[in-house]
Structure 1
Amino acid sequence: MHQLAVSHLWCGQSISLLKELKQCCAKESSFLPRDSGLKMIEAAPAENHNAVSAKCRDANVEELWGLTSFFGYSTQTFVQAVNMLDRFLTIMKVQAKHLPCIGVCCLHMAAKMVEEERSISPTQELIRISHSKFTVSDLCRMEKIISEKLGSLEQHAVTALTFLRLYHTAFVSLTAGRVEFPSIVTLEAQLKACTCRLVFSKARPSVLALSLIAQELKALQSTTAMKVVQQLQKYLKISEGELLHWRELVAQCMAQYYSGECTKPDNKKLVWIVSRRTAQNLRANRCCVPGLPTIPEGNWDESESEDSCEDMSCEEDSLYGSPGSDGGGAYFPSTFLSNCRK
């Protein structure tokens, strides 16, 4: 009976939703990071500060999550910023010293695409809060480089968040309130946690989003809900093996995420109370920020340029520490990181 009801709904009110899912599936490959570049990042030793390693990339993304929370930006801004970051890192041979500038620049570009104009942080304020060693002109120059290398940047890139929201709408519609379904806020928080790990950049957005939902529904043991998962899987031509592979990684990620071993950002904006003298020092420091060294624009298959300028390591301390944790450490313990790379 439930299967007939679900089929009937697919043929009726959800036809437009199915078409939108199909259109997004056709476009998702255009927003995927280059696989060869992802492998290069994974292969880079964590202790090598000349190349961007997976550890370095993940630490930078966690800091972007902290900035997203601080400025009250949406999940879409964060996910779109990381998508641009990964795509850029996998087509360009980037030195670790330039990663902070690239990450902040991607966040600023994503905010301008997604957020309302009055909600966008001024460039100088973004640089100051992130405690970065570059100037406004450096950020503008980096924005131009990223735009040129990534080509035309769409306001609404097709990401795992795109599919997550479409799937959620489909489930709520098709089950008609008969199944207790996780809120979109919970699912988005889980997606942000996955986004902080490079391994999930390998997944197709449609598959990662469905894996998150399928993992949540597993605990509910709802036959109706699982039938919807199977129908979506069949409609979007997602193999059982592919879905199972990413479900297992998502389950491992969520086990760490909900454990007491890892710190998570709270969703409230950080509030600073500083003295007048501290505020004056901050303003003074903004006037003497060293410039960003010249950034070589070589691709992955080109030789790396040597740069003897001041080191800008990705492990540089930031004013806000680990996002939302007051410097309490990374989101995930090292055990999860090593297991993902096996």
Structure 2
Amino acid sequence: MLDIPPIKRVQLKELNSRLCSAINKERQSWKPLLIKDPQDSETEIGPNQRDEMVQWLLELNVKFRFCPETYMLSVTLLDQCLMAVKARPKYLRCITITCFFLAAKMKEEDEMVPATQDFVRDSQCGCTVSEVLRMERVVLDKLKWELNFVNGLDFLQIFHALLMTQRPTLLEDLHHMTPSRHLSMLTGRLSQCMTNHQLAACRGSTLALAMLSLELEVLAEDWLPLTIVLQRMVGVDNQWLIRSRELITYTLFGHSASHRMPSTRPISPPNPVSPPVVNSQKATPNKAKRKKSEIHENVYGNVKRLIDKGKCDMTLPTCPIPAISAQGGKTTVTPPGSCGKEVRQQDGDESLPSSHPPLTSIPVT
């Protein structure tokens, strides 16, 4: 096993402590966002309206130059309010700007947060100052004054720090790519994914792991063992992980996760090939069908391997640091224990909760 320097060991211990704390907090406070199509558009808020407000929050966050943590927390507060309160659509804009104002007070420096009057004017929300202040009290009461929710960005930052600590050479093939710039790129993708209400039904840990898994598939040949290490640490179900990968890729690029995710990895020039041999005979239907079957198997091979790998035991006792050993010039990742076992014992069954929508109900093309 590789000798880990004392400084790095302290960093890994701190990161594992943060990860375990975030997992426990998520299991206690997280609830899936389940919004159905409204039967009455005047009295019920639909999923498309929610997505429009989240997109508006993303634009406001850029306008006010707030940090990504502010945007992610404002989306979390909005989703929590929509689950706690059955509000009418005419109040949705006021609820949204209020959640954004509360998130800014929680995450931004005091000098960065404008006064309420300036904030309402610059946001062009169409609400008055008194309406925002009244809605602020309503939101605080409904959320029981608990605003410090854990979200997908918290897990993404921890996962990324763990990878950079254990695999500092992961980004060597990417020109002019630093760990901070790489994390910023992933944060931007995660922010865009929050505009899809279907992904709000996934845990933040699952969403962050799926996002990082798609990136690792491009960066590292051993992306699957690395994904399984993180998957065991947080106790993510295989079905939710695969489903999240599909939805993330569809949200960002408009196609399924069977296509490789674009990255900043430089593309090497193709090897010279010999001219194709022209065959005067047309391909028979059997050959065409066999070739199509081979392409299908190649496309979904990674997903099948992920399912097969997930059949191993996922209930491990502790949350130690993942170990990386080197034998014969090859790097081997030793999966650590799972710090999610204690919280899984409270849940009992590890299957998907009944409140979640079935996998077949998500239209993915």
| Bin for the TM-score computed over the shorter chain | 0.5 to 0.7
Correspondence list, 1:171-190, <5 A: 171-180=163-172, 183-190=182-189
| 2:70 paired residue number | 77
Q: Shift of the alpha carbon at 1:199?
A: 1.0
1:158 corresponds to which of 150, 159, 174: 150
The code of the aligned residue for 1:138 comes to E
Higher relative contact order (CA 8 A, sep 6+): 1
Q: Structure 1 CA distance, aligned partners of 2:121 and 2:146?
A: 26
Q: Aligned to 1:94, what secondary structure does the other structure show?
A: coil
Q: Shift of the alpha carbon at 1:178?
A: 4.1
| 1:87 paired residue number | 80
Q: Aligned to 2:84, what secondary structure does the other structure show?
A: coil
| 2:160 paired residue number | 168
Could you list the per-position Cα deviations for residues 277-330 of structure 1 after superposition, in whole angstroms to 9, with x for gaps in the alignment?
xxxxxxxxxxxxxxxxxxxxxxxxxxxxxxxxxxxxxxxxxxxxxxxxxxxxxx
Q: Shift of the alpha carbon at 1:8?
A: 9.8
Q: Aligned to 1:170, what secondary structure does the other structure show?
A: helix
| 1:243 paired residue number | 241
Q: Aligned to 2:130, what secondary structure does the other structure show?
A: helix
Check whether the contact 1:101–1:132 (CA below 8 A) recurs between aligned residues: yes
Check whether the contact 1:31–1:159 (CA below 8 A) recurs between aligned residues: no
The gaps in structure 2 that reach 5 residues or longer are: 173-178, 256-360
1:125 corresponds to which of 118, 121, 126: 118
| 1:110 paired residue number | 103
Task: Give the 3 Å change call, closer, same or farther, for CA 130–88 of structure 1 in structure 2.
Answer: same
Structure-2-length-normalised TM-score = 0.63
| 1:208 paired residue number | 207
Could you list the per-position Cα deviations for residues 217-241 of structure 1 after superposition, in whole angstroms to 9, with x for gaps in the alignment?
1122431x54332111112222222
Task: Give the 3 Å change call, closer, same or farther, for CA 151–341 of structure 1 in structure 2.
Answer: farther
Could you list the per-position Cα deviations for residues 108-157 of structure 1 after superposition, in whole angstroms to 9, with x for gaps in the alignment?
00000110111012222222233233211111110101001101324x42
Correspondence list, 1:256-335, <5 A: 256=254
What's the RMSD between the two structures over aligned residues? 2.7
Q: Shift of the alpha carbon at 1:6?
A: 9.9
Q: Structure 1 CA distance, aligned partners of 2:75 and 2:149?
A: 11
Check whether the contact 1:31–1:87 (CA below 8 A) recurs between aligned residues: no
Q: Structure 2 CA distance, aligned partners of 1:183 and 1:341?
A: 28
Q: Aligned to 1:183, what secondary structure does the other structure show?
A: helix
Q: Percent identity?
A: 26
1:42 corresponds to which of 29, 33, 36: 36
Q: Shift of the alpha carbon at 1:242?
A: 2.2
Q: Structure 2 CA distance, aligned partners of 1:340 and 1:194?
A: 16
The code of the aligned residue for 1:198 comes to H
Task: Give the 3 Å change call, closer, same or farther, for CA 209–178 of structure 1 in structure 2.
Answer: closer
The gaps in structure 1 that reach 5 residues or longer are: 258-337
Q: Shift of the alpha carbon at 1:104?
A: 0.3
1:55 corresponds to which of 39, 48, 54: 48
Q: Shift of the alpha carbon at 1:12?
A: 3.4
| 1:22 paired residue number | 20
Q: Aligned to 1:126, what secondary structure does the other structure show?
A: helix
Check whether the contact 1:80–1:157 (CA below 8 A) recurs between aligned residues: yes
Structure-1-length-normalised TM-score = 0.67
Q: Structure 2 CA distance, aligned partners of 1:73 and 1:199?
A: 25
Task: Give the 3 Å change call, closer, same or farther, for CA 68–119 of structure 1 in structure 2.
Answer: same
Q: Aligned to 1:198, what secondary structure does the other structure show?
A: coil
Q: Aligned to 1:42, what secondary structure does the other structure show?
A: coil
Check whether the contact 1:199–1:340 (CA below 8 A) recurs between aligned residues: no
Task: Give the 3 Å change call, closer, same or farther, for CA 30–100 of structure 1 in structure 2.
Answer: farther
The code of the aligned residue for 2:162 comes to A
| 1:323 paired residue number | none
